[in-house]
Amino acid sequence: MDFVKDFKVTKEENSQVKIEGEIPFEVLEKHRAAAIKHYGKDMEIDGFRKGHIPDAEVVKRVGEMGILSEMAERALSTAYPEACKHHEVDAIGYPQMQITKIAEGNPLGFTATVAVMPEITLGDYKKIAAAANKDKASAEVTEEEIETQIKDILRQKTAYERMQAHAAKKSEAETTDESSEDSESTNEPETHTHEDGTVHEGPAHADEELKAVTDDELPELTDEYVKTLGEPGQFETVDGFKEKIKEHLSIEKEKEVHAAHRAKITDEIAEASTMELPRVLIDSEIEQMFAQMNEDLKRANLQMDDYLGHIKKTKEDLVKEWEPAAQKRAELQLVLNEIAKQEETKPDPAQVDAQVDQLMEQYKDADEARVRVYVTSVMMNESVMTMLEAQK
């Protein structure tokens, strides 16, 4: 069988191709024994041991067309990947197979429609990256950011102390109320006047609400006060406290600036590029997003159905909401793949092996092949981004 001459490949819309052709009947016949064995292994007939039923009895029960259909599936599973290989079809996902002709002694006719890696015309990614690098935001922490963070910490501590005091007061009042139930109550009901002039009956604590902490209610930041913050002995002076705040903010800001800068570079490259995105890639990204959500819910001891019920949404609602982000993720990965291809960027095999071994040790039930694909992709992406960030 000549996979080049006997098969025709036609480009379709939405980055798909159609493969069509015929497989000679003598090729199908090579799969007859396996087809009969497939049906016979679980067949049960009185007088025969399971798995040892004569071929003629299996064919009699299944029928020649049933055997022929199984032969066809097996022949296609071998011929299809070979056709893709010889015609350089970079297929994505599973094909939609359709048998167009099948009969005893005749060639098997079929078509297979499958999504393929789209053709991408990249923008000038080095020029785009160089321009973005000149305009990279500063990761330096300002005094204003330090002061804002300190106020947030003091506000949280003050609010917590206020809540504790409120809870203690409420508990004490409830104890008093329970005691008073046993005593005679012939006096007029107790009244309480609020600052806004309203009056209510009952103890003063009954409808008090916790108010937000304002800036003028924040305590003065002194050496003595900072000793009450964090773990015992963690802070000794105001200067030391501020220095730790600055260190923390520097780490967080560096991460934020780094991520935002990378996103800016890749967004601008993707915008300057053209591609026809196959639907299967968007669906794949959505599947990964659901897988991540399932992992997060599992760690929180929650079930997907329970969570969806809580947020009053269906999986279809989430798919619709996530589609723009999934499309963007798919486009980004295609762009990075194409840049890696043009730059001939490949991760170091030894580093890939080491990372795969580490992950397999951590996740013993994982599919090693999938882990290897994941690690290779992550390392390749990192290499491409490092190259782009170095452009001047």
Residue ranges and CATH numbers for the domains of the chain are 7-116 (3.30.70.1050), 143-176+187-247 (no CATH), 258-389 (1.10.3120)
First to last CA, the chain: 54
Q: What is the model's pLDDT at position 269? A: 96
Tens of pLDDT, residue by residue over 45-65, are 887 878 788 889 889 989 999
Tens of pLDDT, residue by residue over 259-273, are 999 999 999 999 999
Tens of pLDDT, residue by residue over 60-113, are 989 999 999 999 999 999 999 999 999 999 888 889 999 999 999 999 999 999
Average pLDDT over residues 329-348: 92
Q: Fill in the amino acid letter for 145.
A: E
pLDDT-derived band at 249, boundaries 50, 70, 90: very high
Return the higher-pLDDT residue of 385 and 3.
385
Q: C-alpha angle 67/69/72, rounded to 5°?
A: 110
Phi, psi of 114 (to 5 degrees): -145, 145
Q: What is the model's pLDDT at position 245? A: 94
User: Where does residue 235 rank: exposed (0-12), middle (13-18), buried (19+ CB within 10 A)?
Assistant: buried
Of 149-158, 191-200, 202-211, 383-392, the poorest mean pLDDT is in 191-200
Asked if residue 179 has pLDDT above 90, the reply is no
* DSSP string for 305-364: HHHHHHHT--HHHHHHHHHHHHHHHHHHHHHHHHHHHHHT----HHHHHHHHHHHHHHST
pLDDT-derived band at 207, boundaries 50, 70, 90: very low
Asked if residue 178 has pLDDT above 90, the reply is no
CB 262 within 8 A of CB 137: no
Asked if residue 197 has pLDDT above 60, the reply is no
Q: What's the whole-model pTM score?
A: 0.68
- The span from the CA of 141 to the CA of 129, in Å, is 25
